Amino acid sequence: MRGVVRSFLVSLWFMALTFPIVVIKVSSLDGSIGWRWENAVGIGIGVFVVSFIWRALLVRRGAMTPREADLEWLFTWLEVERNQRIAKAVGLFIGCNVPVLFLVSVGGWKGFLTSLHALEVGTVAALVLAHFGMILGGGALRGKQRGAVAVQWVRQTAASPLGRKGAVVALMAFVLPLPFFMDMYQVNIISSALIWIMLGLGLNIVVGQAGLLVLGYVAFYAVGAYTYAIGNLHFGNEYIGFWTFLPIGGLLAMLAGVLLSFPVLRLRGDYLAIVTLGFGEIVRVVLEGGSLSLNPILSLLPTSVVQALPASFQNTLDLGGPAGIGGIPYPGFFGMKLSMDDSIRLVYFVALGLTIITIIAVSRLRDSRLGRSWAALREDEIACEAMGINKVTAKLSAFALGACWAGFGGVLFAAKTSFINPSSFTFMESALILSVVVLGGLDSIIGVALGACVLILLPEYLRSLNEYRMLIFGASMVLMMVFRPQGLLPAKAIKRTMPVVTEPPMNEKAGAA
């Protein structure tokens, strides 16, 4: 019963802690004081229940022993297989239905229905799947065979090249026709998520692979977006458009990455982080300032080239300031005239294509010579140098390549929203991209993709909760980290050891290979 006492004390603590903020309300109207005792009661009961679950989950994660959590009785009880099954059933049932209860309690039935409407594809599928998961889980627990067979099947498929190809084909067959079945909103937010997958994978090169903590990644994203917006303003016509600016945006972002990496080559860890944060802020302030002096660059160019430039490039460049730049066209498709819906669909396909290219490129890069040198740099800078890896090249290339993808993402972002202003490129965006990478699983491609989907789609799917949505978003970020600190789908450490030669003599082994 010590567990109950402990939970009771925890709930008392939280009631006291939240008391001034949650119970007392100073009216902005006349400075009068309102007392909301019902909130304290709610928090007390909520914390009492959650504290049990919290400790039980921490024990399961291995961060506590049952003794430390005062939950010995629970885990002793759980040692019996039958009880385990009951617990699992109860847990899953609660787990599946708590979101429903929550939605109902917050938004009432109507809010819940609206959310269902929004989530037709998402939640209902997830809830139904979760309910099926309970069957499977129950079955696996009982016989262990049925579940095991399924798991084994998945493993085998993933292991064989043919199976993997089959999985990719199946995935594509699911993903490609998607925009023709969903409404434009779903297409739109999935395109957002795809752009964020690209950003996440780009940042993953720097943070996950090379181990350089960057907090100003959004600056490169902004470079890409503004390249397209400004370029389109001055040069855009029916021939020069999205497809021209896509590589240019990538290249300019790459250049920005190289520029940034020079001063930070000497810095380590968090000093690097703060300098990149500063860089991001500087870029944003320049964008807000609204103009950029081009004279330092122009003075390097021959006069004939400068004179050939349009008037707006002769001296200072107008960046639009806080009013932003609008009228950015959607990507073109062989000069065809597309309706708005088709354009949004096209953005989806472009985003999908670029994401696939990114995934292929990133996974190739990881196994390349460069990728290996990044891994070495990440694990130990000194040992890496001692091994004869050029640290400068490795860092420069990590920054350049990482930034390049942000540039592509930025160009696509500008095309997708058709209007950009500096408010899309704040520090919060940088922090969110980093969260995508860490939350999904550092250095894991599928993990980063999942992270992007969770962090971009979660606030969208929580829309029906309206004012509670960012609260829950913040809380779920903490929870996901606490219970899965290694990320949702962490990368498996690649183990490639030299084959241990035991019995067979050398010549025989050579023959076998």
Partner 1 sequence: MYGKTWLGIVAVAVLTFSSMHGAFAAETIRLGVPGAHSGDLAGYGVPAYNAAQLVVDEVNAKGGINGKKIEIIAQDDQCKPELGTNAATKLLADNVDVVMGHTCSGATKAALPLYTDKKIVVVSPSATSPELTQSGSFPLFFRTTPSDDAQGKLGADFVVQHLKAKKVAILHDKGDYGKGYAQFVKEFIEKSGTDTKIVFFDGLTPGGVDYTPIIQKIARSGADTIVFGGYYPEASKLVTIMQSRKMKVNFVSEDGVKTEAFLKLAGKAGEGVYASSSRDYSDLPMTKAAVAAHEKKFSSAPGQFFMQAYAATQAIVNALEKTGSTDSQAIAKALRTEYVDTTIGKIRFDEKGDTVGAEFVMFQVVNGKFVEVPFKRAQ
Partner 2 sequence: MADIDWHYFLELLVSGVTKGCIYALIALGYTMVYGIIELINFAHGEVYMLGAFTGLIVAGVLGVMGFPETGILLIGGVVAVIYCSAYGFTVEKIAYKPLRNATRLSPLISAIGMSIFLQNYVRIAQTQDFLRYPNLIPDFAFLEPISDILRPSGFVIIVTSSLVMAVLTLFIKYTRLGKAMRATAQNRKMAMLLGIDSDRIISATFIIGSALAAVGGVLIASHTQQINFNIGFLAGIKAFTAAVLGGIGSIPGAMLGGIVLGCCESFAAGYLSSDYEDMFAFAILILILIFRPSGLLGKAKVQKV
Question: Where does this chain bind partner 2 (CB under 8 A)?
Answer: 13-14, 16-18, 20-22, 24-26, 28, 31-33, 39, 58, 61, 63, 207, 213, 263, 266-268, 270-271, 273-275, 277-279, 281-282, 285-286, 288-289, 381-383, 427, 431, 434-435, 438-439, 442, 467-468, 470-471, 473-478, 480-482, 485-487
Q: Which of 32/303 has CB closer to partner 2?
A: 32
Other C-beta atoms closer than 10 Å to the C-beta of 497 total: 5
Q: How many residues bind partner 1 (CB under 8 A)?
A: 59
Nearest to 192 by CA among 299, 318, 60, 351: 351
Contact 236, 473 (CB under 8 A): no
Q: Which two tokens stand for residue 342?
A: 């088709």
Rounded to a whole number of angstroms, the minimum distance from the CB of residue 495 to partner 1 is 39
| Residue 478 binding target from partner 1, partner 2, none, CB below 5 to 8 Å by type | partner 2
Q: Which of 179/208 has CB closer to partner 2?
A: 208
CA gap 293, 286 in Å, rounded: 10
| Residue 79 binding target from partner 2, partner 1, none, CB below 5 to 8 Å by type | none
CA gap 350, 345 in Å, rounded: 9
Nearest to 57 by CA among 455, 435, 480: 480
**Surface-to-core class of residue 69, CB atoms within 10 Å of its CB (0-12 exposed, 13-18 middle, 19+ buried):** buried
Task: Say whether residue 121 binds partner 1 (CB under 8 A).
Answer: no
Site track 450-489 with partner 1 (rule: CB under 8 A), x = hit? ----------x--x--xx-xx-------------------
Task: Say whether residue 132 binds partner 1 (CB under 8 A).
Answer: yes
Contact 143, 136 (CB under 8 A): no
Q: Which of 107, 138, 147, 163 is in the footprint of partner 1 by CB under 8 A?
A: 138
User: Using CB under 8 A, which residues numbered 302 to 341 contact partner 1?
Assistant: 321-324, 326, 339-340
Task: Say whether residue 118 binds partner 1 (CB under 8 A).
Answer: yes
Q: Which of 117/495 has CB closer to partner 1?
A: 117
**What is each CA distance from 510 to 252, 499, 500, in whole angstroms?**
50, 12, 13
User: Using CB under 8 A, which residues numbered 18 to 37 contact partner 1?
Assistant: 27-29, 34
Q: Which of 31/499 has CB closer to partner 1?
A: 31
Nearest to 429 by CA among 452, 412, 408: 452
Q: Which of 140/214 has CB closer to partner 2?
A: 214
Q: Which of 60, 67, 142, 364 is in the footprint of partner 1 by CB under 8 A?
A: 142
Q: Which two tokens stand for residue 334?
A: 């062989």
| Residue 294 binding target from partner 1, partner 2, none, CB below 5 to 8 Å by type | none
Rounded to a whole number of angstroms, the minimum distance from the CB of residue 168 to partner 2 is 30
Task: Say whether residue 135 binds partner 1 (CB under 8 A).
Answer: yes
| Residue 420 binding target from partner 1, partner 2, none, CB below 5 to 8 Å by type | partner 1
Rounded to a whole number of angstroms, the minimum distance from the CB of residue 303 to partner 1 is 33
Contact 399, 258 (CB under 8 A): yes
| Residue 486 binding target from partner 1, partner 2, none, CB below 5 to 8 Å by type | partner 2
Q: Which residues of 336-357 are buried (b: 16+ CB within 10 A; e: fewer)?
A: eeeeeeebbbbbbbbbbebbee
Q: Considering Cα of 409, then 413, then 415, then 419, what sign does the dihedral take?
A: negative
Q: Which residues of 442-455 are buried (b: 16+ CB within 10 A; e: fewer)?
A: bbbbebbbbbbbbb
User: Using CB under 8 A, which residues numbered 369 to 428 contact partner 1?
Assistant: 413, 416-421, 423-424
Half-sphere exposure of 247 (CA within 13 A, CB side): 3
Stretch that binds partner 1, among 42-50, 63-71, 113-121, 299-307 (CB under 8 A): 113-121
Q: What are the backbone dihedrals phi and psi of residue 492, each rounded to the nearest 5 degrees, phi first?
A: -80, 135
Q: Which of 121/275 has CB closer to partner 2?
A: 275
| Residue 509 binding target from partner 1, partner 2, none, CB below 5 to 8 Å by type | none
Task: Say whether residue 300 binds partner 1 (CB under 8 A).
Answer: no
CA dihedral 140, 145, 150, 153 (to 10 degrees): 150
Task: Say whether residue 150 binds partner 1 (CB under 8 A).
Answer: no
Q: Which of 341/380 has CB closer to partner 1?
A: 341
Tell me the angle at which helices 218-235 and 269-289 cross, rounded to the nearest 10 degrees: 30
Look at strands 291-293 and 33-35 and give their pairing.
Answer: unpaired
Rounded to a whole number of angstroms, the minimum distance from the CB of residue 486 to partner 2 is 7
| Residues whose CB is less than 8 angstroms from the CB of residue 143 and which lie 6 or more positions away in sequence, other chains included | none
Q: Which of 366/416 has CB closer to partner 1?
A: 416
Helix (H, G, I), strand (E, B) or coil at 33: strand
Q: What is the binding site for partner 1 (CB under 8 A)?
A: 27-29, 34, 85, 89, 93, 96, 109, 112-114, 116-118, 124, 127-128, 131-132, 134-135, 138-139, 142, 183-189, 192, 288-290, 321-324, 326, 339-340, 344, 413, 416-421, 423-424, 460, 463, 466-467, 469-470
